[in-house]
A and B are shown apart, each in its own frame.
Chain A
């Protein structure tokens, strides 16, 4: 178990920079999730920590050792791959014990540690099976077992759940979380699925284009996204946006001419005349007669274009300011396309982003 430190880490393929000098400190026992759209450099970063990719520039430390030039085997990390990478010619027990066998550990120690891992993951009945005879979820478990058998300093997960169906994914997510609480090893986990990231992480690292956009706890990032990209990437359904300008009268004038009053706090922070993008989450808007949007709310009228009933709530889609918006209707009633509705926006929860820099104001 160890602290992992990345200092100005760069990955270069020829003239192409894939990772642009990232800095990151990961505390002992922490569960850190790297999340971002595909091609953002998150997997490359993980593979550099594992030693599967050379580090073009910068330093990576595990514990107090600089590992830049260490081969994977000397870093004492273990990794769960997207396709599990189980050894097809070895049965489950052999897969679990392989790393110990390579390390020339005594037979009974191997048996004991394999049994321990199998116990934690409920693999006891499968020990003689070959990977080909296992279901997706079982393979996933074996892959995790193989990782914990080594008692590594750091666990690395590379999109481990993306090959499972939706139901199994949720289940395995919970198991990974439980596993971490049990073994308390530092975990670095890569995913493109923001829900997975939110549910698992102690700390999330949002990446885009080889750079870190924001680091923070899931709730912090959800409520205080650093910029427009993070705001859109985190949260489902995605944040609703509208272009506008802040006026002298402490309002934001949207493109459709509508003026919404800002809170005093917000108006104090943003200078008049700033071109902005206004964002508000689907949860922070309330349909008339379906709850209370707080003291700072303001009402707009919309025409529903589609509603998706989900049981305890409905998602109502409508066009606003030239963009598609979506709003949750709690305690739902049937909504017909074309129906006119009133929506209260909780202006206390509105975010303003600078239109050019995209940074939250």
Chain B
């Protein structure tokens, strides 16, 4: 047998590996290095000054950072859970619709095509305290006072969450609907014959079957979790007065506005681990659910 230098799979994967390494891995190594320096864009000489973990130390004592970190975590948790519940509800509704299911599904995909930046802008427009649709509607209903949606801390977070949920519920709904449509009739009918109520059938047959689909949606969604940056950046830019600051807007401000690259990179690393944590968590759930379904079939 003649020996080839590179086996076919390596050859096929090589371009992909080169690109990922060159455009993502190497820059990340660079940013890991700069996170150990006081690098400022305005002062190139600082690139070579090594200060060890001082950036990280600073972060760990920084109240603003921890506030942003905590807020990010809470916002993501709320958003993902609400999106999943709403997605499930929506999928169940559409699944039971007798007519026009295709049309409904098409409408459901609508928000998926919206760029997050567009979603942010759209809700900034709707929640505008002066001319926004929401306040206009409330006023027409007789509530005279204009509500400062994007100014008050909690209202602003509520508005941001609304935008986030609007844009991402559909991916859950679509995947769960695909799962619903693929459920075999037999187990459901068997459960009915065995005397299960509608709720019991849902709880013990339908829901376990849907789990892998929910986790795929979660995994896909968590890959893109930082898209929330786009929405927040345009709706409030972390303001007013940092009251809606998320990790990502903080990174952007520190890195580009304050030109403090070293510190921003240290934060970026923490945000990367946060993303990896979410993805890894759901990916493992997906694997477990898949194995479970595999055993059931």
Report A's interface with B, CB cutoff 8 A: 54-56, 68-69
Contacts and interface: CB of A to CB of B under 8 A. Distances in A.
Contact of B2 (A55, A56, A69): A69
A55 B2 CA distance: 11
A205 B2 CA distance: 31
Interface residues of B, number: 2
Contacts of B29: none
A56 B1 CA distance: 8
Contacts of A69: 1-2
A74 to B, nearest CB: 15
6 contacts: A54-B1, A55-B1, A56-B1, A68-B1, A69-B1, A69-B2
Interface in B249-277: none
B123 to A, nearest CB: 45
Contacts of B1: 54-56, 68-69
Nearest to B1: A54
For the complex of A and B, the 6 pairs showing the least CB-CB separation, nearest first, are A54-B1, A69-B2, A69-B1, A55-B1, A68-B1, A56-B1
Contacts of A68: 1
A297 B1 CA distance: 58
Contacts of A56: 1
Nearest to A54: B1
A278 to B, nearest CB: 46
Contacts of B2: 69
B2 to A, nearest CB: 7
Interface string B1-37: 1100000000000000000000000000000000000
Interface string B63-92: 000000000000000000000000000000
A288 to B, nearest CB: 53
B4 to A, nearest CB: 11
A27 to B, nearest CB: 28
A8 to B, nearest CB: 15
A181 to B, nearest CB: 38
B159 to A, nearest CB: 50
Nearest to A57: B1
A234 to B, nearest CB: 36
A68 B2 CA distance: 10
Nearest to A68: B1
A125 to B, nearest CB: 36
Interface string B197-234: 00000000000000000000000000000000000000
A282 B2 CA distance: 53
A69 B2 CA distance: 8
A56 B2 CA distance: 11
Nearest to A56: B1
B193 to A, nearest CB: 30
Contacts of A55: 1
A54 B1 CA distance: 8
Nearest to B2: A69
A63 B1 CA distance: 20
A247 B2 CA distance: 59
Interface in B110-165: none
B27 to A, nearest CB: 38
A54 B2 CA distance: 11
A228 B121 CA distance: 81
A47 to B, nearest CB: 15
A8 B68 CA distance: 70
B246 to A, nearest CB: 48
Contacts of A54: 1
A109 to B, nearest CB: 34
A137 B1 CA distance: 39
A265 B222 CA distance: 81
B3 to A, nearest CB: 12
A324 B2 CA distance: 54
A55 B1 CA distance: 8
A145 B20 CA distance: 47
